Amino acid sequence: MKKKRPVTAQGLVWKTRFRKSASGANALLATLLAAVLWGMVNYLSMRHYQREDWSSQQLSVLAPQTEQVLKGLDRPVRMIAYTGREHRARDLMEELLREYAIRSDRLRVEFVDPDRDLGQAKDLQMLYDLHQADVLLLVAGDRHEVVAMEDMVLLQSDEERPMGQDPKMVGFQGEALMTSALMRLLSDERPVVYFLTGHGESDIDSFEEDRQSFSDVRERLERDNLDVRPLRLEERQGVPADTAALVIAGPSRRIPQPELDLIRAYLENNGRLMVLLNPLQDAGLEPLLRSWGIQLTQDVVVDPSATLSGSDVHVTRYADHPVTRSLQGLRTIMIRPRAVWPMQDEEDRPDPVRYSALMTSSDQSWAEMDLSEVPIRFDPAVDIRGPIPLAAAVERGGSDDLNLQDNRTRLVVIGDADFASNWLRSGAGMLLLQNGVNWLVGRDQLIALPPMPVAEIRLMMDQRGLNQLLFWVAVVMPGSVAALGFLVALRRRG
């Protein structure tokens, strides 16, 4: 039997030192392993992650159309926000730009403050002819697009905002404008849209503030990468072969029959036509539209429940159609519109056509048939009770799926022309016209992005509630953490 060695003081010292060294080495190794594990987890999470938006408004969720456009980017694109911090759409646009950049490594997002980054601001002004700030600039090679931030903002209408207060922002359509600008920037195609002239139509070259001026329409359509031109059919042998769509905007005089025959021949050859009609004006288009499933009558739509002056009609009822899908929740103001009825008798149609009512008046409205009656009142024996169709889309040929693209005839008929004029710059009228033209030329992807509603969330508190909140945040919560730490310390000592 072996005898145990006597334990000496020096042996105990070395044994204690060894245990401390081993314990320290173990702690160091554990720390290094934890750091390596932390680095690996972060490395993997940066490349494989799932983003979710749990907010109530879902402002950072991109539409499938935007996702598709971003995945299809074939060249580097710079998105430069040329704006200061004070613009009301800055935060929403910044969040949206961040989402765009995350989904494509070909996008580079930059911010230039015109008041602070003076050198960069001067370069942008010289290179891209920028005359104002608060715009989003998209650059790809030698091409660029400019989107005004003010166009991204949808404000309260005059009847919704309190008297004496500035209108609040109720919607944000930045994604629709930014995605459309990206598509225009990367597309080499520029469809030609002709506006018929010579019969008192609205003038796309007039910048006056009246009902006959459509310079704003021209500017908006050209911003959508459309080539907008006037057309005098009396000088032509037919509708030009490069016509992607023809617009007849509010003619005040009758169109001669030879020109109507040219328009009819254009439609028969898979043409695309938009007609804006004013009441009490006979342009001679009734037989042409009747053959395509649309019936016009001499009437004026009256809606006492949705008017300010009596002559205007505020429309908020839209169909689930590519032209009006992005208008849900918005208001279109029309001036003395007329009804756009579907044909009841299909014998007059050349082939089966699909009629879709795009927008209708309310249940309290009616189609006034006796236009000489003063004051106007509903007569159940003559007038027609609402809802009344105020705009319609018609298609012939192709599939029943309205979202498919193919060679088919398309018409959009709207019972008013004032809604998109320079004189009436309110509501969703301009967006309605843009959507209609883009649908006619087959650009359904440009019009399927609805604006995001922006709700203002306020925490209303009196002084007592504010004091209670301060007590909980500054006293109770930190005090609870301190008390818990004190109890843990006492337990360890005990």
Domain map of the chain by residue range? 57-191+449-472, 193-442
Q: Tens digit of pLDDT for each residue in 128-153? A: 888 888 999 999 988 888 888 888 88
Cis peptide before 375 (omega within 30 of 0): yes
Q: What residues contact 183, with CB distance under 8 A and at least 6 apart?
A: 69, 225, 445, 446
Domain 57-191+449-472 and domain 193-442, same fold? Reply is no
Whole-number Å distance between alpha carbons of 184 and 145? 8
Q: Tens digit of pLDDT for each residue in 38-49? A: 988 888 877 776
Architecture of domain 57-191+449-472: 3-Layer(aba) Sandwich (3.40)
How far is CA 388 from each of CA 114, 278, 378, 392, 466, rounded to the nearest angstrom? 50, 16, 14, 11, 52
Q: Tens digit of pLDDT for each residue in 230-241? A: 999 988 888 999
Handedness of CA 148, 450, 448, 415 (dihedral sign): negative
pLDDT at 89 over 50: yes
Calculate Rg over the CA atoms of the chain: 33
Average pLDDT score over residue span 430-455:
80
Q: What is the pLDDT of residue 403?
A: 47
Average pLDDT score over residue span 8-20:
70
pLDDT at 400 over 60: no
pLDDT at 169 over 60: yes
Whole-number Å distance between alpha carbons of 302 and 429? 18
Taking the CA atoms of residue 218, residue 273, residue 387 and residue 453 in that order, the dihedral angle to the nearest 10 degrees is -40
Pick the CATH number of 193-442 from 2.40.128, 3.40.50, 3.30.70, 1.10.246: 3.40.50
Higher-confidence residue: 126 or 352? 126
pLDDT at 302 over 90: yes
Whole-number Å distance between alpha carbons of 346 and 411? 17
Of the candidates 460, 454, 467, 481, which has an alpha carbon nearest to the alpha carbon of residue 58?
A: 454
